[in-house]
Homo-oligomer: A and B are copies of this chain.
Amino acid sequence: MKIQKQIPVTAYKASGFIGKYQQLVRETVIPYQHSVLWDKAPDTEKSHVAANFINAGKALRGEDTADGFYGMVFQDSDAAKWLEAAAYSLAVHPDENLEKQADELIELIAAAQDKDGYLNTYFTVKDTEKRWTNLLEGHELYCSGHMIEAACAYYEATGKKTLLDVASRNAECIYNRFVVQDIKGWPGHPEIELALLKLYRLTGNEHFLILSKKFIDERGTDPTFYAHEAEKRDWTVWGCDPWDNDYRQSGKPVREQSEATGHAVRAVYLYTGMADLASETDDKELLEACRRLWNNIVQKKMYITGGIGSTVIGEAFTVDYDLPPDTAYSETCAAIGLLFFGGRMLENEINGEYGDVMELAFYNTVLAGMQLDGKRFFYVNPLEIDMGISGTACTHRHDLPVRPKWYACACCPPNVARLIGSIGAYAYGESADTSYCHLFAAGSVRFSNGMALECTTDYPYDMTVKYKVSGNGKLAVRIPAWSRSFAISVNGADFSQAPENGYVYIEVNGNADIKFVFDGTPSFVRASCKVPRLAGMTALTRGPLVYCFEGTDNGRVSELRIDRSSAPEVGEYDPNLLGGTVKLTAKAERITDCGGLYTSEPEQCTPCEAVAVPYYTWGNRGENEMRVWMNIC
């Protein structure tokens, strides 16, 4: 049983920092991404997503498919993620034109669904004989998962059932194959597990719970599965090694897993589904596995920015404590998935650490994934940019100093859009008698337990968070671990309570004005000596924000050494700087004789100031150096 559950996206209306981001998504990201789906965006790589659905419909009707299929094997998921983002926007901000665009796309999708419920343009256009023959790489279940998520979101936002029916028929088709016919198999790229649970909750159809559980339970029970599957076919998508089970989290049954391995996005999507299933079915063994995997990530494999998956080789986790800042992969989608995972863990147990990590991932890696104007995106979120090396050396080609426009593989931009649109569900939760504030998000919330609140805050820049609460029940608020002290007042009176697992609980009867003041003093953070690349260095944080040092403010950043003995100065909030931000200024020294390649001459240093800006704002002022981890003096 879920001890508390996420609120529906429709229940939160954002203002403040989050509101501004939702507006950006609504006004810029969603329209732009729509034009991409229809290949109408100028100077942008061809997407062909809408055309693929049109052609799949034609193929099913026996018509000429003209220009056929184009794009990645998972190209359909771009449409689904855009629809999901559009749905979240419509849920709180009706827009006739957007709804018309969505309905139009949904019509194409419905027309591309086969009689038996099968839905995938790659296999429908290219070769229907190849359906279900390559779970390793074919991404059919992954695409279905995203379409199911979109369908749930669109139904919740608009009440329209067309896409929900498409998704349900598709899920029944999959249920028929894997449960009724009992064919062995699990997704090469997890995603459908978590989606089916949403669909189950929305429709009440137990097939979808059973199917999700089947994929999770069967996963990793047969290490030869993919290899045998590969033997039976004469084609591949990418030539993936079917024996590399760790890469797709199927080296052993999920309940026996303790190490986060392989492709980071797959991993956290799987763990999200596992955590959701654990609370849905009271599965303690599964929850225990989730805890182990969570701990392995956040204690040994996570960047300070909440980014995960440190290597470009397979976009994957490597080994414990291997967290290079300059060659980081730290995919935007993986940080999003980590946030999903944390949100589902909170439905199993209340623990402030989940929210701590979720806000770290959100305010740093997820937001860094998008340019401040919403027009360009990072997949890869390095913690260090070295001019002449990053983006250039063959080992650093993925670590770009500025965000590119749109990728052939366009997974991250629509993922950022749908997360920002649905962040309310992660910020707020509810049980019969308690309303939860996991993240600090300005705006209004209606809880289904009858409570409601209005949150006013300039978080993450101001650490005061005010709640005007109405109703009867408890308000549970996370006390972030970064805050060394905090003060609470209820209706103007001091309120004191030691946090329990990172939360304080305040009884509300009728109406209450509740104020939290957290500690906004910047902190110098160090990494464990077990992280060889970060030993002896420092990072600078304030609240949930990790800061970084850019060349624009500092000249050559590798010449700087930070003096941790004096407190950094906190600047005034500057609405005109980087979309509105607060600079930090630290005492430092600069090595002034950069000299030859190697020298034994003692170095010349001069005292100076080092200016830091939030990591999520980096790379918005042209190409320049950037460092999160700094040398110290």
Contacts and interface: CB of A to CB of B under 8 A. Distances in A.
A48 to B, nearest CB: 28
Interface string A217-233: 00000000000000000
Task: Give the residue among A322, A327, A533, A536 with the most B Cβ atoms within 10 A.
Answer: A536
A302 interface: yes
Nearest to A594: B529
Interface string A496-518: 00000000000000000000000
A394 B311 contact: yes
B598 A525 contact: yes
Given A327-B395, A394-B313, A395-B327, A556 B527 contact: no
Chain A interface main SS type: loop
Contacts of A324: 395
A153 B303 CA distance: 55
Nearest to A533: B326
B535 A559 contact: yes
A32 interface: no
B528 A596 contact: yes
Contact of A322 (B316, B318, B395, B597): B395
For this chain, the copies found in one complex come to 2
A252 interface: no
A396 B319 CA distance: 10
A302 B597 CA distance: 8
Interface in A519-561: 523-533, 535-536, 539, 541, 556, 558-559, 561
Contacts of A470: none
B300 A528 contact: no
Nearest to A396: B322
A359 interface: no
A306 to B, nearest CB: 11
A388 B599 CA distance: 32
B316 A394 contact: yes
A276 interface: no
Contacts of A302: 597
B389 A597 contact: no
A41 interface: no
B597 A528 contact: yes
Contacts of A389: 318-319, 321-322, 532
A529 B313 CA distance: 28
B536 A631 contact: yes
A299 B394 contact: no
A316 B320 CA distance: 28
Given A388-B319, A530-B558, A631 B597 contact: no
A631 B595 contact: no
B523 A535 contact: no
B631 A541 contact: no
Contact of A528 (B533, B536, B594): B594
18 contacts: A299-B596, A300-B597, A304-B598, A311-B394, A314-B394, A318-B389, A319-B393, A389-B532, A482-B600, A523-B600, A525-B598, A525-B600, A526-B598, A528-B598, A528-B599, A531-B558, A536-B558, A541-B600
> 7 shortest A-B CB distances, which residue pairs?
A536-B631, A523-B600, A535-B558, A386-B532, A318-B393, A529-B594, A529-B559
